[in-house]
Amino acid sequence: GGDVVVAAETGSGKTIAYLAPILDKLSRLLESRGGDTAVALVLCPNVQLCKQVSGVAKELLGGASLSSEGSVRVFDVTEDEYEEDGAAVVVCTPSLFEKTFVSYKAGAARVDLNVKVLVLDETDMLLTGGFEPVTLSILDWCQYEDKQLKIDSVLENTGMTYEDFQKVPYKFRRAAYKEGLPGMLASGWRGWKGHGSTGVKGFEKCQYLFTGATIPDYGTKSVELQIQKICPDVSWVRGEGLHNPSSFKERLAQEWIEVRSMGEAYDLLSDIVSVKGNGPGTEGEDLGGLTVPELKQRLRDAELPVSGRKAELVQRLVELGGPVAAGTSSSIGRVVAFNKDVRHAMECAEALRDSEGLPVLEFHRKVPLEERMDNLEVFKRAKNAVLVCTDAASRGLDIPDVSCVVQVGFASSAVDYLHRIGRTARAGKRGRVVNIYTGDSLDLVRSVTKAIKEERPVQDAFSRKRSFRKKIKKESRKNY
């Protein structure tokens, strides 16, 4: 297949949209080539997204295990050891790919992996910042392999040796690196004894897929320009709601509240999630003689497999998701509370634990990864709970039926804003967003609300004046 960019709003089903055809392609390759190795490599920016993508792939395969012979297999390299045999979907982060699959011989990097499809999930993250160098090196390697395939095809079709090929004029060699023998013939090469392109054995290059809910197209570091440079003939599939929250305003209610301080923001969040009476699920509530923290510690210390420990933890804590208050049928559901940074997230969680109401679960880098995943699992299963987090939870995580997103500390950019609000109103469902902001975020808030009011994409706020972006970044650094 051709190279494709899938750019659509969060919760629109992009993961299934690219995984389903990939699994079909690998299945057909497996049938036609027997035991030949073929890999679809999916790069994700974090471990959580890797687990989610691999989980969806396994579900699409009907829960087939890693050891299933004669079928496409799925490897999440964050927890599975890759076995080179047959067709497989390999999911990992760029840095983990480098550690696992790249070896060095005589100072040159080597990768022994037959990649037929390369997917960049959350493309705008992978092609910017700290991810960019490693991601580009992986792309360079794949494109180098493509060039070698094209040259091998030229040698096979013409009977030339590599030394003979090197004597071909540069104009034709350049055409060969771009399009193989058909490219050489189109540029006027007359060394082919066949008749036109008839009878030319083709080659199968790596297919490149880029996906994301935000594809910024401004400045010299434009992600869109980078994609065009990597794959000049790439096709675009754009969702109607890309960068435009007003496109689903019928199912997404937004409120905007300005406060004078973060303390006031925490109080407001407490009011949003608080309930009358002593509702089940406070951190100090008794669960069979154990508080929630004591229960977590006991399960963590127990000699149980991870899946067993998670299952028991979920089974015990899911009871916290009953009616919000004893004797009532009211329910606020699952609430995701975003904060500017880790310090503010910890302050926010502490403030919520001092109030009545729901279980408070944290998701940020100060929480160990295993506990983070436990908290996420508990949150997914609970009927009523609050997930206090940073932007670590804003991308890729598919949490079902989030009733409300609260921006306790407003996003530092329009891109982050879009990903945050995308945690609710997913897959056609309804949701609510409460945007709490201080004067520091007023410029960005005005830009975003103006775009929403005028029913146009908020991408214009991606490229605010440099002084505006510097101001936002400076303020963010002060809060760490």
Q: What pLDDT band is residue 445 in, cutting at 50, 70 and 90? A: very high
pTM equals: 0.80
- 198: tokens are 């008839």
Biggest alpha carbon distance in the chain?
88
Query: Average pLDDT of 372-385?
Result: 90
Distance, in Å, from the CA atom of 182 to the CA atom of 369, rounded to the nearest integer, reads: 51
Residue 67 has pLDDT above 90, yes or no: no
> Could you report the per-residue pLDDT of 283-293, keeping only the tens digit for each?
433 334 444 45
Range from 178-192, 287-301, 343-357 carrying the lowest mean pLDDT: 287-301
Q: What pLDDT band is residue 231 in, cutting at 50, 70 and 90? A: very high
Torsions phi, psi for 206 (to 5 deg): -70, 140
Residue 460 has pLDDT above 60, yes or no: yes
CB 331 within 8 Å of CB 404? no
Percent of the chain clearing pLDDT 90 (strictly above) = 48
Distance, in Å, from the CA atom of 19 to the CA atom of 9, rounded to the nearest integer, reads: 17
Pairing status of strand 385-389 against strand 252-258: unpaired
CB 117 within 8 Å of CB 41? yes
DSSP tag of 365: T
Q: What pLDDT band is residue 156 in, cutting at 50, 70 and 90? A: confident
Residue 197 has pLDDT above 60, yes or no: no
Residue 213 has pLDDT above 80, yes or no: yes
Angle between helix axes 306-317 and 369-381 (nearest 10 degrees) is 40
Q: What is the pLDDT of residue 120?
A: 98
Residue 64 has pLDDT above 50, yes or no: yes
Q: What is the pLDDT of residue 318?
A: 40
Q: What is the pLDDT of residue 298?
A: 52
Query: Average pLDDT of 367-379?
Result: 92
The pLDDT mean for the chain works out to 81
Q: What pLDDT band is residue 204 in, cutting at 50, 70 and 90? A: confident
Q: What is the pLDDT of residue 17?
A: 94
Residue 127 has pLDDT above 70, yes or no: yes
CB 28 within 8 Å of CB 86? no
Q: What is the pLDDT of residue 421?
A: 95
Query: Average pLDDT of 295-308?
Result: 47
Residue 202 has pLDDT above 60, yes or no: yes
CA 185 to chain centre: 42
Higher local confidence (pLDDT), 1 or 13? 13
Taken in order 254, 384, 352, 337, the sign of the CA dihedral is negative
> Could you report the per-residue pLDDT of 342-356, keeping only the tens digit for each?
999 999 999 888 765
Range from 31-45, 210-224, 303-317, 387-401 carrying the lowest mean pLDDT: 303-317
Q: How far is CA 70 from CA 27, 91, 115, 450, in A?
A: 9, 20, 19, 55
Residue 309 has pLDDT above 60, yes or no: no
Interior CA angle at 14 toward 12 and 17, to 5°? 115
CB 285 within 8 Å of CB 353? no
Reference 94, options 58, 54, 121; nearest CA is 121
